[in-house]
Amino acid sequence: MAVKVTPQDLEAFLSKGAGASPAARPAGSPPRSCPPPSPSPNPVARVLGLDPGSVRTGWGVVESLGGGRLRLVAGGTIKSPSRRPMAERLLAIHQQINQVIARHQPGEMAVEGIFAALNARTAIILGQARGAAILAGAVAGLAVYEYPPASVKKALVGTGQADKHQVRAMVEALLRQSLPPPAEFSLDASDALAIAVCHLHSRGLRGRGLK
């Protein structure tokens, strides 16, 4: 079952943790590749963030090393065949997320919620893509958490109306490293990293007994 985290929780923790100095790691591969994870010193948690879509699904794996330090493990974009029937597109999303989970071994999954202003047809299609993604996490035994898009933006940037480029800039600041240009590492992938970062901060907040 997806667990929702309030924007107040995220803002409270980010205001304390943004000044930490996470370990830097050079950004790795093009968006559709899944480089093998390199070993890290005693990670506290490893989270798969997902920004689901019926054509493009951004994904990013981030781990907490403790003490407010975050490390980018890998990220990319899953592309499903837009001209194929919806069932085949959902299968492609599900299978590729299974591959990401198998390769990078996250302990938890954080998924972006549905934007409230979407029309009914778009919301249904997006809901199906989210379902394929969430099912992959559930089958793998991961705890799955949901974050409203505006809450993620407000927690990272300070406003729920932030655009994808602003979110990307804050992700780079919090991870203390530059990402490849959007042509190589999509905005959907950086959105997924933002969701993973928010979850790790919220996870730490809950661990402090504040939630």
Residues in Cβ contact with 106 at an 8 Å cutoff, skipping those fewer than 6 apart: 46, 47, 48, 61, 142
As a whole number of angstroms, the distance between CA 167 and CA 188 comes to 11
Active site residue 63: no
Torsion from C-alpha of 24, 185, 38, 101, nearest 10 degrees: 130
Catalytic residue (choose from 51, 63, 108, 146): 51
Alpha helices in 18-85 (DSSP H): none
Report the amino acid identity of residue 197.
Answer: V
Active site residue 51: yes
Active site residue 188: yes
Straight-line distance from the first to the last Cα atom of the chain, in angstroms, rounded to the nearest whole number: 18
Report the amino acid identity of residue 76.
Answer: G
Catalytic residue (choose from 63, 108, 188, 191): 188
Residues in Cβ contact with 119 at an 8 Å cutoff, skipping those fewer than 6 apart: none
Catalytic residue (choose from 9, 108, 112, 146): 112
DSSP three-state, residue 142: coil
Could you identify the residue written with the tokens 């994904």?
Answer: 59
The helix-helix angle for 149-157 and 164-175 (nearest 10°) equals 50
- The catalytic residues are 51, 112, 188
